[in-house]
């Protein structure tokens, strides 16, 4: 017996909905192959399969030795970095960008990722593009032991330009309530350890594209003398995941980390205050690390105020840990971070002092 759905699929090319721009049969065919891509991210906690109305996840908090579990969630996108994916027709990195960004956002609370869900909306779904995006997300999820348990795809002609799409993700993780990081442990005298970014990550692309392609008249195939690669490869570098650094410091002791900040939109200037007590300031020695060439190109090519650079871009530091001054040198050495500042009495703000040598980083 032929089902109603099968009969409709055969007529889809002539259907009113398809003529209006939404091919339901195409959407169903594309979704049917997603299960094989995400299956490697599933552990015994995942119940059911891809395609249901909701993803099912049965966590084993006892196995994680969590006494008082707290669920931590976050939702985000990758901004106008999508434009680079469209122009290069490379979509295998953008999904990993999204997953890693979300993992970092909950890691700073002390959470480990449990599962991830995605949302992909386009003018018209394309099987090759969809597979590239989801493959990238699956690789990043598997690397972080995070299950990709579901998502949504939508065809919206008239809302998106042909060949373009939007991408967003939601992550849920778990933390022990006694080990939550909220900035309350930060105190005067603590030290900041920075961990390098590998480029712009997923922030500041609107300004970067304006400077590089409009003001400087460069192309994605251009290779500025300051860069070891083309702009295409530079701008598509995957947003670094800092979960390994969190795992390493936890092996040293759960109380070693006083706070952490993911340096995304807003840069060091706007992100560090999110973890500072109202009576503390963070002094940053901007000479403590080497700023990647791409930021210098943007600053000079766009005639951007250096202070604004630290508010828009990560400037080479993608994650900051706050630890005690006594243990900072050993932690920085073991985790390969850079000592880049200290916590002083203040009012919850960030001070950039390029001439001040806060502490030797060896």
pLDDT means per 10 residues in the chain (362 residues)?
57 62 64 80 86 84 85 97 97 97 98 96 90 96 96 89 94 95 96 98 98 97 95 98 97 92 97 97 96 96 95 97 97 97 97 57 34
Q: How many domains does the chain have?
A: 2
**Non-local CB neighbours of 45 within 8 Å, separated by 6+ positions:** 57, 58, 59, 60, 114, 147
Residue-level pLDDT at 355: 47
> pTM of the predicted model, to two decimals?
0.90
Q: For 154, list phi and psi in degrees, rounded to 5.
A: -140, 135
CB neighbourhood size of 254 (10 A): 12
Token reading at 94? 């953008």
The boundaries of the domain holding residue 40 are: 19-179
What's the CATH number where 237 sits?
Answer: 3.90.650.10
Residue 111 lies in a domain: yes
Residues 161 and 295 in one domain: no
Q: Please, are residues 134 and 38 in contact by the beta-carbon 8 Å criterion?
A: yes
Residue-level pLDDT at 36: 83
Token reading at 282? 């963070």
Residues 293 and 260 in one domain: yes
Residue-level pLDDT at 358: 29
**Non-local CB neighbours of 34 within 8 Å, separated by 6+ positions:** 50, 130, 134
3-state secondary structure of 223: coil
Residues 196 and 77 in one domain: no
Residue 80 lies in a domain: yes
What's the CATH number where 175 sits?
Answer: 3.30.1330.10
Q: Where does 123-190 show beta strands of DSSP type E?
A: 147-155, 165-176
Residue-level pLDDT at 5: 56
**How buried is 86 (Cβ within 10 angstroms: 0-12 exposed, 13-18 middle, 19+ buried)?**
middle
Last residue of a domain, one of 179, 203, 230: 179
Residue-level pLDDT at 87: 96
Residue-level pLDDT at 49: 75
Residue 358 lies in a domain: no
Query: Rounded CA gap, 70 and 324, in Å?
Result: 26
Q: Please, are residues 154 and 227 in contact by the beta-carbon 8 Å criterion?
A: no
Distance from chain centroid for Cα 241: 7
Residue 3 lies in a domain: no
Residue 185 lies in a domain: no
Looking at the chain, the whole-number percentage of residues with pLDDT higher than 70 is 88
Last residue of a domain, one of 179, 211, 241: 179
CB neighbourhood size of 219 (10 A): 13
Residues 142 and 226 in one domain: no
């Amino acid at each position: 017996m032929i089902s109603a759905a099968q009969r409709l699929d055969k007529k889809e090319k002539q259907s009113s909905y398809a003529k209006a721009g939404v091919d339901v049969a195409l959407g169903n065919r594309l979704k049917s192959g997603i299960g094989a891509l995400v299956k490697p991210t599933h552990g015994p906690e995942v119940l059911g399969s891809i395609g249901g109305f909701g993803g099912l996840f049965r966590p084993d908090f006892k196995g994680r030795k969590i006494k008082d579990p707290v669920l931590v969630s976050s939702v985000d996108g990758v901004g106008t970095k999508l434009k680079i994916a469209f122009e290069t027709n490379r979509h295998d990195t953008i999904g990993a960008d999204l997953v890693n960004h979300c993992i970092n956002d909950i890691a700073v609370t002390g959470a480990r990722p449990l599962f991830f869900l995605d949302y992909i909306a386009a003018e018209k779904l394309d099987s090759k593009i969809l597979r590239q995006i989801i493959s990238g997300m699956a690789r990043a999820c598997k690397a972080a032991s995070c299950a990709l348990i579901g998502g949504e795809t939508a065809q919206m002609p008239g809302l998106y330009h042909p060949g373009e799409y939007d991408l967003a993700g939601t992550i849920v993780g778990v933390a022990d309530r006694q080990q939550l990081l909220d900035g309350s442990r930060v105190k005067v005298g603590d030290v900041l350890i920075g961990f390098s970014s590998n480029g712009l990550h997923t922030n500041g692309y609107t300004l970067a594209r304006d400077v590089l392609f409009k003001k400087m008249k460069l192309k994605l195939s251009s290779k500025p003398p300051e860069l070891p690669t083309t702009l295409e490869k530079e701008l598509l570098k995957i947003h670094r995941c800092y979960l390994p650094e969190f795992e390493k410091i936890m092996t040293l002791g759960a109380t070693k980390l006083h706070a952490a900040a993911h340096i995304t939109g807003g840069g060091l200037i706007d992100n560090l205050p999110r973890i500072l007590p109202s009576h503390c300031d963070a002094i940053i020695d901007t000479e403590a690390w080497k700023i990647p060439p791409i930021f210098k190109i943007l600053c000079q090519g766009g005639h951007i105020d250096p202070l604004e650079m630290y508010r828009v871009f990560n400037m080479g530091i993608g994650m900051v840990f706050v630890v005690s001054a006594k243990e900072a040198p050993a932690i920085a050495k073991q985790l390969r971070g850079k000592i880049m500042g200290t916590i002083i009495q203040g009012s919850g703000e960030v001070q950039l002092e390029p001439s001040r040598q806060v502490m030797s980083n060896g």
